[in-house]
Structure 1
Amino acid sequence: MLDSLFVKLSNTITLTETDKEIFGQHVILKNLRKRQYLLQEGEVCKYVAFVSKGLLRSYLFDEKTNQRIIQFAPEGWFISDLHSFINNDNSHLNIDAIENSELVLISKASHEYLEKAIPEFFKFNYLQYRGAYIAQHKRLTDMFTLSAEEKYIKMLSIYPDITKRVPQHMIASYLGLTPETLSRLRKKIFTKL
């Protein structure tokens, strides 16, 4: 599990063997079964999770109790409720496993320790948080400015194999569509091809 995290980190920063040993001592390796929660609404988010294997999602419920998926996190992605994690506030999100998953969890205390012990990790976190903010802002903007077809095509560029791994109703939730609308949209797109 740690090897895939080190590959991800090494795309941005340089880690020595000593850095890797320190890392290994300050993370938690966790397996989640399909449908098992990492975080439930109302809890304080205690971890940033790196997905070594599997697929997770974050979501919330709107006023009509419709599930609204915010993010999918396949292998090589991080997932968390950063607002809750950083501010120690109760989360509005749920995070659970869509597939059996293997995770590397980093607690807030470990984050702070690793940033001091491995200065390159501070740089990595800065780039990750900046990237997460930009991605969230872009996703919000896209929800209001793109057509349903454009949203679907954009989703496929972000998550290329998502349609093979996720039920259609979850994809519809992510796109802000009904499953029926998504079905018509997919039919329209595939008849164009």
Structure 2
Amino acid sequence: MDYSLILKNIAKHISLTEEEESYFTAHLQPLMIRRKQFLLHRGEICKYSAFVNMGCLRGYTIDADGFEHILSFAPPDWWIADMYSLISQQPGLLNIDAMEDSQVWLLSKANQEKLYIEVPKFERFFRIITEKSLVSYQQRTIDSLSLPAQERYLNFCKRYPSIIHSIPQKYVASYIGVTPEFLSKMRNDLLKQER
């Protein structure tokens, strides 16, 4: 696995010297995750932020009736973690698994804290990432409470254009809060409107 994608991701927000890049990459741990394999189970303490180099992960909960509720997807060039657990070091609320064979870079909470001290600009980088995550979750909550299903679907398409056609539709349905059958009908209706 090479570092080019993760370094480009970081360069969107902060500039690193070659020495700082080397210091950062020395703290990353590569991990291959097979399809349906878990990065994190609900109830475990999240010790890592994961950057997706290849593949796709999802973060979700399962309710008392056994229904999955997907909160986020992480295609290549995205970070994923159970933020509540990572920050509080309390047992997590999310399951995170691979939707396809995936390659990720793991950054431990301990190494992240070390980066803050040794390369202070990383504090800015992770603050920006955390703020974007907070804004995204808030917008998703508002959308779920106030928008009709069709608008939630269109927002999903804008947010995740790279995976809309490559992931099973049952996962899209779970994310926007409808049944797969309803999603199929809605997509057909949208296609008819476009003609």
TM-score range, shorter chain: over 0.9
Superposition TM-score, scaled by structure 2 size = 0.97
Report sequence identity in percent.
36
> Is there any run of 5+ residues in structure 1 with no aligned partner, and where?
none
1:82 corresponds in structure 2 to 83
Residue in 1 that maps onto 2:191: 190
The 1-side partners of 2:41 and 2:108 are apart by 16
Q: Deviations over 1:149-181 (max 9, x none)?
A: 101111000111323211111110001101111
Deviates more, 1:67-76 or 1:17-26: 17-26
Cα distance between partner residues in 2 of 1:61 and 1:98: 16
Mapped to 2, the partners of 1:182 and 1:66 lie a distance apart of: 16
Give me the whole-angstrom Cα distance separating, in 2, the residues matched to 1:60 and 1:46: 18
1:116 CA displacement: 1.1
Q: Distance in 2 between matches of 1:187 and 1:2?
A: 41
How many Å apart are 1:104 and its aligned residue?
0.8
For residues 1-193 of structure 1, the aligned pairs below 5 Å read 1-193=2-194
SS at match of 1:90: coil
C-alpha separation between the residues in 1 aligned to 2:4 and 2:32?
16
User: For residue 49 of structure 1, what is the amino acid of its counterpart?
Assistant: A
The CA deviation string for residues 110-131 of structure 1, in whole angstroms up to 9 with x for no partner, is 0100111111111101111111
Q: What is the SS of the residue equivalent to 1:15?
A: coil
CA RMSD of aligned residues (A): 0.8
Give, in whole Å, the separation in 1 of the partners of 2:119 and 2:43: 32
Amino acid at match of 1:151: R
Give SS of 2:164's match. helix
Contiguous gaps of at least 5 residues in structure 2: none
2:181 is paired with a residue whose SS is helix
Deviation at residue 80 of structure 1 after TM alignment:
0.3
Using the alignment, how far apart are the partners of 2:123 and 2:3 within structure 1? 18
Give the counterpart letter for 1:174 in structure 2. Answer: Y
Letter matched to residue 36 of structure 1: Q
Question: The residue matched to 2:66 in structure 1 has which SS?
Answer: coil
Count of matched residue pairs = 193
- Post-superposition offset of 1:89: 0.7
Alignment partners' CA distance in 2, 1:168 and 1:17: 42
CA distance in 2, matches of 1:47, 1:122: 16
